[in-house]
Amino acid sequence: MHSANGIALGEYEQVHEMLAATEGAEPLIAEIFAPSLPLVLPTFLPNPLETPTSAHYIDVTFEITKYGESRRIEIIGAALGVSDADRDDLVSLLMTSRFRPRVTDSELARASSVAVRYYLND
């Protein structure tokens, strides 16, 4: 269903509006629509960005569009010894993943910038 952009976006907007009308719902809105680690869809599968902390990591920034697509992916840093192949794998993961849209300034954003530290575990 979430590949049907208009339907999914409408449902996200409806959920956000219902929560916004509820007093004290700001923490829940932030948890659902603006978590520190972006939610990869479908959410019933493990989030591939949620990796155990390690000494090997890649720092990346990207935007999530209102349709849950990633764009403007930029590797901004990495631990020593991280290979170009590891960087390419992360970029590929981000390009092929769908994300839950994010709320910025109390509404679903056209695009929202995020920064992630992605840990590599062998």
pTM of the model: 0.80
DSSP H helices, the chain, are 5-20, 26-33, 84-96
Q: Which domain holds residue 25?
A: 5-119
Mean pLDDT of all residues in 93-111 = 84
The pLDDT tens digits of the residues spanning 4-24 come to: 666 777 787 888 788 888 888
Q: What CATH number should be reported for the domain holding residue 83? A: 3.30.1150
Is residue 36 within 8 A of residue 49, CB to CB? The reply is no
What total of structural domains would you count in the chain?
Answer: 1
